[in-house]
Structure 1
């Protein structure tokens, strides 16, 4: 195992995780400044996630210091597992468990209190937590990646697999129950579509990162997987906080939709009748008229018609040519 493929990914992963930790702090400040009336348990969740994220960042910095500064000259430094690495694995497991339990509670709420799906999600989350805690204990005990892979590597594999599986279950369950709650109102459907988009976005980020880390852990004998593992914690924290902070946007979207609903409107006695009468009287429509009625709150259709009439009569009658134009403007406040 070379220095490039072992300690390099740890340094890069640590820098990325610190950047994401700054995003978590910004999300926490935004939550504090906007949501003053949330329940006590939800605020405890938010600040607990923030403190766990700061502690995780501290362990990442300690591990990079141990590898790159304090023990750089040690032999087989690439195979050594400091206690801080075990601490990052434990905090990742704890953070993942809290956030996934929160999303399981959301599934429970959206599914109208279907306990069976909630119990399944909670059981998978608990299994992931137990596997990660066992991995942490063994990392601190053996302090060797080779021995860890040989003895209990399957436990770490199981933990990452359960985490990726849980991301799929949570995202698919939320999307399914959200789509079932679609209605005939465009404003409500727009909010449901936004919630579905947030669910897919958050679930896909955590799933892809966890899945790639799992593949690298199983197939490649280096520490690239650990660099990605540093970022998993931050992605879960950001998914949790972004879900809470998006509520203000959804409320504004709902209030604006209530004031200006964009519902499909069909009024057979107004626009369509006028168009039919104009076709029958003139036989010509200007090229600027579109037959597709925009679905908005105000529809205004301007129809201009020009009819040219010529007639030949007896010699004592003059040839008459009348040219006229008219403009029908139906007031369209729908």
Structure 2
């Protein structure tokens, strides 16, 4: 009997604790987002607020379900067969979170692919199918009310919903990788940013897909216990944290991949060594560093007199480069095929 308790109520309790921990991480990420990116676009704020709200609902449902099993029915050994309504609603809530996250990534892929509906259409279709299967599963759980009966009649239904979710994750990750890898040519800091985003995309997609596949495996192999259910409790948490991590990493990228040297613009006329006046374009060019951080090889030597005044603009470039991250760098796509041309700072503005 103790072994059954560990694999049923124990597995559900562990899954609940992990879910609560991941929910706390999401809450901290939400706080950081609104603290750091207070001036972000309204659509991002609404997305973050919606994800946080649905995550709170999901956490309450999970904790209530475990409370029903462990506390309210403490002495009832047969309670593990019962499906409480909160457990069934958890399935639907997970599907809503998954749809929200997949919609965000599908929208980004749609912009990166130049409105390629042949790619984003299937992603949207699979996401809707996933929600339909999940809501059908919720209804059938509320009707059957017991796990043995549900596993006998609707094993394929629950498995199909998880399988569609895993396939959608793979398509989204592959699509993002495909379009991001084309941005690795050209400006060196941009290459480093893209490399980091690609690694994060692969790891992020692999993690969510692995959790879903693990839940499928335990559901098919051991449907009589709650190991699959404990894993299922954490699925929506990984999806939610995925979006918040993508948005909050912008601050790290902003400080990691910005020029340390300011740009100087002379406000008075200067002269060359031979006494001739330097053209304004040449003065600006001489003070713009190349990708290696050194002055341009075409720079003209300038004799700086005591009355010269320079104005340095440092924050403009830092802001523009930082803002490339939430847009998945698609604004640079038009420059990715120009690897043999120099990229001026003005080209990074959008």
User: TM-score if structure 2 supplies the norm length?
Assistant: 0.72
Query: Structure 1: how far apart are the matches of 2:255 and 2:176?
Result: 22
1:175-214 alignment to 2 at 5 Å? 175-214=177-216
| Alpha-carbon distance, 1:262 to partner | 5.5
Aligned match of 1:250: 253
Q: Give unpaired runs (5+ residues) of structure 2.
A: 263-288, 295-350
1:246 Cα offset (Å): 1.3
Name the counterpart of 2:165: 163
Corresponding position: 1:241 with 2:244: yes
Question: Are 1:20 and 2:26 counterparts?
Answer: no
The equivalent of 1:50 in structure 2 is 52
- What are the within-5 Å matches in structure 2 for residues 1-334 of structure 1? 2-221=4-223, 222-256=225-259, 263=292
Larger Rg: 1
d(CA) in 2 for partners of 1:264 and 1:42? 34
Mapped to 2, the partners of 1:31 and 1:216 lie a distance apart of: 35
1:162 match: secondary structure = helix
CA distance in 1, matches of 2:135, 2:12: 21
Deviation at 1:75, TM superposition (A): 4.9
Q: Out of 23-32 and 185-194, give the one that drifted further.
A: 185-194
CA deviation string 1:100-135 (max 9, x = no partner): 111111111222221211111111111111111101
**RMSD (Å) for aligned C-alpha atoms:** 2.1
Q: Which moved further from structure 2: 70-79 or 153-162?
A: 70-79
Q: Distance in 2 between matches of 1:77 and 1:116?
A: 48
SS in structure 1 of the partner of residue 66 of structure 2? helix
Q: Counterpart of 2:258 in 1: which secondary structure?
A: helix
Find the aligned partners of 1:28 and 1:121 in 2 and give their Cα distance.
26
Deviations 1:159-187 (A, max 9, x none): 10011111111111100110122222211
Structure 1 length-normalised TM: 0.76
C-alpha contact (below 8 Å) 1:186/1:261 kept by paired residues: no
Distance 2:259 2:171 in 1: 33
What is the alpha-carbon distance in structure 2 between the residues aligned to residue 251 and residue 114 of structure 1? 29
Aligned residues: 267
Moved runs in structure 1, 4+ residues, more than 3 A? 257-265
SS of alignment partner, residue 256 of structure 1? coil
Whole-angstrom distance in 2 between the partners of 1:257 and 1:239:
30
Q: Check 1:4–1:133 CA distance in 2 against 1; reply closer, same or farther (3 A cut).
A: same
Q: CA deviation at 1:16?
A: 0.6
Structure 2 Cα separation of the partners of residues 216 and 3 of structure 1: 16
Gaps of 5+ in 1: 266-334
Q: Distance in 2 between matches of 1:42 and 1:182?
A: 26
Distance 2:155 2:237 in 1: 24
SS at structure 1 position matched to 2:247: helix
| TM-aligned CA distance change 1:185 to 1:233, over 3 Å | same
Where 1:81 maps in the other structure, the secondary structure is coil
| Deviation, structure 1 residue 34 | 0.8
